[in-house]
Chains A and B, each alone.
Chain A
Amino acid sequence: MELSKEQSAAVHFEGNVYVTACPGSGKTRALTARLSLGMSQLYGKSEKVLAVTYTNRAAEEIKSRIEQFVVFDSKKIWAGTIHSFALDWIIRPYAGYLPILNNGFEIADEYETRKIIADLKQEKGLGFFQEINTSFDRAGNVANSNRLAREVEQEYRQHLQARKQIDFDQALYFTYQLLELRPEIAETLGTIFRLVCIDEVQDTQDLQYAILSKIYKYSKIKPKLFIVGDVNQAIYDGIGGLSKSLLELNVEFEGSNLNHFKFSDNYRSTQRVVDYFSFFRNTHGITAKADYSKSAGVIQFLNQSIHKDQLADEIASIIKKELNNGVSENEICIVAPQWAPIRSLTRKLISLLPNVKFDAPSSSPFYGQHDNFWLIVAKIVLTIPSGSLYSTRIRWANEIITRLGDSYHKTSDLTAKQLLKILNSFSSETIVGTDYLCECFNYLIEQLDIELEVDSSLHEAHGLFFEKAQRNIELNEDQYRNEVNVFRSFFKESTGIVINTCHGVKGEEYETVIAFGMLKGFIPHWDIIINQTAQKARSSESKLLYVIASRAKKNLYIIAENGRQTRTRNPYETSQMLLQYNYQYD
C-alpha cells in the first residue's frame, strides 16, 4: 500500500500516535496500514490487533482493505464497534461476575427499546420530543433533567430486566464496571491486543474512552495506541460523542505520551471543493492532491428557489444531467439530515427515474433488523450461491450454527455446508415475500428439529422480524411490492445512487453529492439545539455542513427547499451558516 509522506510518518512512528485528519486525507488508508504493520509484528498466536470503528460497516471495510494486500489471518485482528468489542470480549466472557448478568441475558432489540420508551413517555404524559437519556456516566448515574424522565428511564430498565435484557448503554456501563471490579480482565485483554487502533475518536462517548483507557492502564506491557479522528467531523455530540484534545487524551491514556500527527492533504476532492468546505470549520490551508484537483466541477446552492413538492423533479433532473456527463450511478449520493424526508423523496425518485438504480437502506423491509437472528436466515435464502458470495454465505451459516448451538445440541454436529444445503433445498410456490420467508423459516425449524417454545428469545425474534418487515413495507408503500424477487434485490451488491443521511455517509466519498433539507432545525435537529447555547448549535451546524460538503469529489449541489413548515406552522428557514457564506456559486 502506497502511503504519502505524512501518512507514512504516522504509521511508522515507534511510539503512540494521535492523528487529526482532515476529510479525504487517507485516514482509513493509514489506519489499515498501521493495522497490517501491527499484525506483522505480533508475537505468538494469542496476540491480536484491535480496531475500534464507529460502525460495523467501517470494520468490514478495514478488513477487506487489509485482505487486499497482506495474507489475511482473521485470528490476528479483531475489528468492530466498541459495543461489539465490549460484548464479545468482556460482557459475554465475564458475565458471571455481575449478578444482573449471571443468569443469562440478551441484547434488547433497538426497535423494541424505542417502543418501550415511547409507551412509557405517553403513560407519564411526556411529550414526543422529551428526550430520555439512557446512557450512564462513569459513576453509574443516568442523568435526566426531570423527575418524570428519570422515572421513564428506571421503569424502562425494570422492563428490560424482567425480560433478562440489557441495552447498549448498559452493555457499556457493565463493561466498565467489570474492568473496574476485576482489573485482571483489563490486564489480560492488554496482553492479547498489542495494538489498539481507534477510528473516529471524535465521536467516542465518555464511557467508551473509559473502557479503552482501563485496558491501557492495567496492561503490564502497554499496547501501542493509534488514535485517529477529526474534531471538525464530530457530528455525534448529540448522542454523547465527546471529542478530546491531545492533552485530554494523554490524561485519559495515562503515560501514553501520544504524539500528534496532522494530515492536511486531501486526496478526495478538487481544490475548489476543499476551499468551499474549509469555510465551515475554518480549516483553511488544506491542499487538494487528487489527480483531478484542478478541475472545476459544479458547486451550486439552490436557496429557497425550489418548493418541497418540486424537489424530486429538480433532483431527478440533476441526476439525469450528471449521468449524461458520464458519472456512474454509484458515484452519486443524495443526502439529507433526517430519514423522514428521505423516504418520501426516494419513493418519488424511483417513479420519476424508473431506469435508475437506487441504494436506499431505509426503504428495505429488513431495515433496522441487522441484529435479528432470522435476518441471517433470510439473507442466505434470498441470495444465490455464487463465487463471490460463497465465503460470505459460509460465514452467515456459521453464525446461525453458533447461535443455535446454545439451545439445540444437534446443531453442534452441523457444518456450514450442510446448513446451506438444507436452505438451498427449500422451495415454495408463493411469490409473496413475507410468506415466502415465513415458509422458509418453518422449513428450517422443521428440518433442524428446533423447538421454538424452548427458546423464547428465538421465538421473540421470529415475531419481531415479521412485525418490523411489515412495518417497513408499509412505510414504503408503492415503492416496491412484497414479492420474493423484490426482496432478493435488497441483498444484491449495493450498486446504484445512494440515498442516506449525513450520519450514514460518514467516511464515504462520491463524485457528486446532492444535499437537501439544508434548513435551520434540520441541521442540526431541533432536539440538539433546543436546550443548547447558540454557540453549541452553531458548532453542530458547521460540523454537519463540513461533513456533507467534504463528501464530494467534484460536484456539490446544496438545496434549501421552501414550503416546509414547522409544527407551529412557521416556514423553515435556510441554514444560518449557509446564508452567511458569501460564496460565488455556479
Chain B
Amino acid sequence: MYISSLKIRNFRNFDRSKFVFKKGVNTILGENGSGKTNALYALRLLLDDSLPRNITKLRDSDFCRNLKTWKGHWIIISVEFDELSAHEGCQTLKHNTGHMDGSEKGTLTFYYRPCLRVRQSLFDANGDRAKSKELIDNINIDDYEVLFTGRSSTDFLLEDNYKNLVGDFDTLIFPQPNDKDLKSYGVKISPLHEEVSFTFVKALRDVVSDLKNYRHSPLIELLKGVASDISDVDAEKITNLVAELNSNISELDEIKQVSKGIQDTLHNTVGYTFSPTIDIESSLPSELNKLLQKLSLTVGDNFVDGYSGDLSELSLGGANLIYLALKLLEYERKQDIDKAAQFLVIEEPEAHIHTHIQKTLFENHSVGKTQVFLSTHSTHISSAAEISDMNILGLSENVVDVYQPSFGLGKDECSRIERYLNATRSTLLFAKGVILVEGDAELILIPSLVKKVLGVSLDELGVSLISMDSAFFEHISKLFCEERIRKNCAIITDSDTSIVALHINPLEDTPLQKSCRNSQISGIQRKTKLDEYVQENQYIQAFYAKHTFEVDFLLEDNSIEVIETLSSIYSKESSIKKSKKLLKSSDTDIFGIEILRLANKEGKGWFSLLLSEKISSETYMPKYIMDALAFSCKNKLAEPILHKMCVYRLENEMTLTKEEDKPIQYFEDNLSNKTDCINEFLRACPDDDLTYLIHLLGR
C-alpha cells in the first residue's frame, strides 16, 4: 500500500492543490515559504498519530488566505491509497477506505466544516441572499466540526463539485445537509492514524537541545520499550547495587543494543570513517523505570580512544546526524509492529546530512512497505532526485501551485531529462520563469544586459537562464505545459537569416554565400519545427534573433560597445582601426561578417565575456530578448521592481532621453506613489528600452 496522491483544498497557502506520489522516494521541492511544511502537515493531520488528537481542530488562520472570507468554507484534505489489498495488515484500512471496485484504491478524507446546525440554516436560507449573508457573517470558528470519512469519490479540487457539495458562495446556494450522499462525501469513520506507522523528522536547527530535552528526545522514545524487557532479577540487582550503577547499566544488553543500534545505523548511514562513537551512560538513578529515563547519549570520536563527552561538544552536523540516526532507528523499530504501511517523512534532509549521502540513504529506506517523503529547497538534492518523484511548489502572488514535472512522460524521456539537469540547470524547477538559450554567448551576455540596462538581476526577477543545446529544447521545454510545470518558458534562438545577399541560383554561390545559405535553410527548418512545437502550448514561446545573437546585438546600434572590446583583442592600432571601420558600416554583410570574425577569433564565450564588460545603461537591449524576458515573467512584474528599474534608468545615462527631460523631480516628489512614477516615466521617456519592456508587461 502506498499514498498515490494528496489533495488539499482551502488549507493554509493551498487554495486547491494536488500532489502525486509514487512508491519509494518522493520529493517535495519549493522555495522557502512556498508551503512545504504545510503540505507535510496536511499529510500528518490525516496519518501521524504522534500529533495530539485535538490538533485536527483547526483555527480560522488555517483557512487559505485566498478566500475572501473563510466563513462557511470547508477545509478538505484527502489522500488516496493505491495497491490497497486486504492483506498484510491493510484489512482495516481497506474496510474503511477501499473503493471495492477492483482498483485496489482507497480514499481517506478529512473535513473541517460548519456543523449541521449551520449547514441546515444555510440551506434553509437558499434564495434569500440577505439572510444567507447574515448567516455567513455570524459563523464562528466554534461552529466548525471535524469529520473523517472513507471512500469519498469526489474530487473537491473541481469547482463544480465544491459548489454542489459544499456550497456556491456566489449564488449563495447551499446543499441540503440531510442528503448524506455517502458516495460523494464518503462514510464517516474514526481516524485511522493507528493503522499506519508514521515517522516525522523535522528540519531541526538546534538538535542538541532537542536531544537533551526530556520530552522531545527521540532517545527516550526508544528507551520506553526497553524497560519492560529487563528481567526482575536484573532490576533488583540494580536497585541493590546503586553504588555501582553507572557501570552496571552500561553493561546491560538492552542498553547496549540501543547503543549498538544507533551505532549501526550511523555506520550504515555515513560509514565508519565519519561516524562518531556512541555510548550510553547513566548518572546516579534510583528505581528502574526512572533509571532508564535518566540515560543519556554521550559521544566521542574514533581518533581519541576511550574519550566520550557531552553532546554539546558535538558539532552541529554531528548532532544532526545522531538525531537523524535515532529517528531512523525509531522508525525501524516501528516496522516490527503490524501496520498497513510505513511512512518516513523528512523535512529538509539537507539540514541533517550532506546531500551526496541523501540519495543512497533514502533509497535504502524505501524498501518494502515504506514510502519516503522529503521536502527540500535544495537544488542539489533536486539534481540527485528523479523528476518522476517530484512535486514542485511554485508561489505566485501568495497562491501555491503544485506541479508534477514528469506527468505523462515516459521513463526513458524522464531519465534523459534527469541526466541533463545538472545542479545548475535544475534551477529551472524552482524559477518563476525560464529562458532557454542556445549557447555561452547568450548565457553570459543576457544577465549583464538585464543587470546593466534594467538595474536588476535575473535572480531578482525569478527568471532562470539556462543554456541548452538546440536539440534539447524540445525535451526540456516539454516540462512546461498544463499538466506539468505551469510556468512560462521562453526559448531564445537564432533564425540564421543570411547576412549576405544571396543569388536566386544557389549554384552561383561563393563559399561564404554557400555556408550562409545552408545556415539559413537549416534555420528556417528549425524555426518551422519549433514554431509548430510551441504553437499549441501557451507556456512556451520561441523568440528569434534575425541572424545570430552577435549580429543582432550589433544591429541594435551597439557598435560602441563592440568597438571598445577591440583594444582587448588587438594591440596593433591599425588592426583596431580596420576592424572599427568595418563594424561601423551600415551594411549587414560588412559589420555582420566582421563581428562573427571577431567572435570566432576570440571564441564565442570569451568574446561575449569581453563584450559584457562593456555593457552599460546606454546599451540597447535587442527587442526579441526583451520580448522573451517579458514572456518568461508571465508578462507580469511587481510594481516595486518596475519602480526600481525606472529609478535605475533615471540615475544612469540614457541614450534616448536627455538629462533635462528625465522626470527625476517627479520621482522625488512622489516617492510613495509608485504607480504614478512609473506612468510618468513612460510618458517622459517614450523611446527608452524600459518603456518598451513595461508596455510588454501589460501596462
Contact = CB atoms under 8 A, between A and B. Distances in A.
A579 B176 CA distance: 65
Given A182-B101, A188-B98, A102 B89 contact: no
B683 interface: no
Nearest to A89: B95
A465 B117 CA distance: 24
Contacts of B94: 188
Contacts of A185: 100
B116 A409 contact: yes
A185 B95 CA distance: 7
A103 B180 contact: yes
23 contacts: A45-B338, A46-B195, A46-B338, A47-B91, A96-B186, A97-B100, A97-B183, A101-B182, A102-B182, A103-B181, A104-B179, A104-B180, A189-B95, A191-B91, A192-B95, A407-B116, A408-B115, A408-B117, A410-B115, A412-B146, A413-B54, A454-B117, A456-B178
Interface string A25-48: 000000000000000000111110
Interface in B194-219: 195
A188 B100 contact: yes
Nearest to B153: A96
A459 B182 CA distance: 23
Nearest to B189: A93
Interface of B: 54, 86-87, 89-92, 94-96, 98, 100-102, 115-117, 120, 143-146, 150-151, 153, 178-184, 186-189, 195, 338
A291 interface: no
Contacts of A46: 89-92, 195, 338
Nearest to B113: A409
Contacts of A188: 86, 91, 94-95, 98, 100
A513 B178 CA distance: 51
Contacts of B178: 103-104, 456
Most buried by B among A92, A95, A103, A455: A103
A386 B101 CA distance: 50
Contacts of B90: 46
B117 A451 contact: yes
A454 B120 contact: yes
A94 interface: yes
Contacts of B144: 409
Contacts of B87: 191, 220
Nearest to A185: B100
Contacts of B86: 184, 187-188, 190-191, 220
Nearest to B94: A188
Interface in A396-442: 406-410, 412-413
Contacts of A451: 117
Interface string A195-235: 00000000000000000000000001000000000000000
Interface string A80-121: 000000000100111111000111100000000000000000
A76 to B, nearest CB: 13
Contacts of B180: 102-104
A29 to B, nearest CB: 30
Contacts of A189: 95
A412 B120 CA distance: 19
Contacts of B182: 95-96, 101-104
Contacts of B150: 93
A99 to B, nearest CB: 9
Interface of A: 43-47, 89, 92-97, 101-104, 182, 184-185, 187-192, 220, 406-410, 412-413, 451, 454-456
Interface of B is mostly: mixed
A182 B117 contact: no
A185 B90 CA distance: 13
B124 to A, nearest CB: 10
B188 to A, nearest CB: 7
Given A96-B153, A96-B186, A455-B116, 7 more contacts: A44-B89, A46-B338, A97-B183, A103-B180, A409-B143, A409-B144, A454-B116
B183 A96 contact: yes
B146 to A, nearest CB: 7
A570 to B, nearest CB: 54
B95 A93 contact: yes
A184 B102 contact: yes
Most buried by A among B92, B120, B186: B92
A113 B373 CA distance: 54
A68 to B, nearest CB: 27
Contacts of B181: 96, 102-103
A45 B93 CA distance: 12
Contacts of A413: 54
A253 B580 CA distance: 100
Nearest to B115: A409
Nearest to B142: A410
A406 B187 contact: no
A101 B95 CA distance: 18
Contacts of B186: 96
A96 B181 CA distance: 7
Contacts of B187: 92-96
Contacts of B184: 96
A190 B86 CA distance: 9
A218 to B, nearest CB: 10
A191 B338 CA distance: 15
B483 to A, nearest CB: 30
A124 B153 CA distance: 44
Contact of B179 (A97, A103, A192, A408): A103
Most buried by B among A45, A182, A188, A190: A188
A189 B94 CA distance: 10
B296 to A, nearest CB: 33
Contact of A184 (B89, B98, B183): B98
Contact of B145 (A89, A97, A412): A412
Shortest Cβ-Cβ A-B pairs, 10 listed: A409-B145, A104-B180, A96-B182, A96-B183, A409-B115, A184-B100, A46-B91, A188-B86, A44-B338, A182-B100
B92 A192 contact: yes
Contacts of A103: 178-182
Contacts of B115: 408-410
A332 B307 CA distance: 82
Nearest to B88: A44
B144 to A, nearest CB: 7
Contacts of B101: 182, 184
B340 to A, nearest CB: 8
Nearest to B95: A188
Contacts of B96: 93
Most buried by B among A187, A189, A190, A408: A187
A46 B153 CA distance: 25
Given A104-B179, A184-B101, A409-B145, A192 B91 contact: yes
A413 B145 CA distance: 10
B91 A102 contact: no
A324 B663 CA distance: 120
B116 A102 contact: no
A266 to B, nearest CB: 41
A44 B182 CA distance: 30
Nearest to A457: B178
A95 to B, nearest CB: 5
A93 B100 CA distance: 11
A95 B96 CA distance: 12
Contact of A96 (B151, B195, B338): B151
A194 to B, nearest CB: 10
Contacts of A104: 178-180, 182
B612 to A, nearest CB: 65
A293 B144 CA distance: 66
A365 B383 CA distance: 76
Nearest to B149: A96
Nearest to A182: B100
A104 B181 CA distance: 7
B86 to A, nearest CB: 4
Nearest to A48: B91
Contacts of B338: 43-46
Contact of A94 (B100, B117, B146, B188): B100
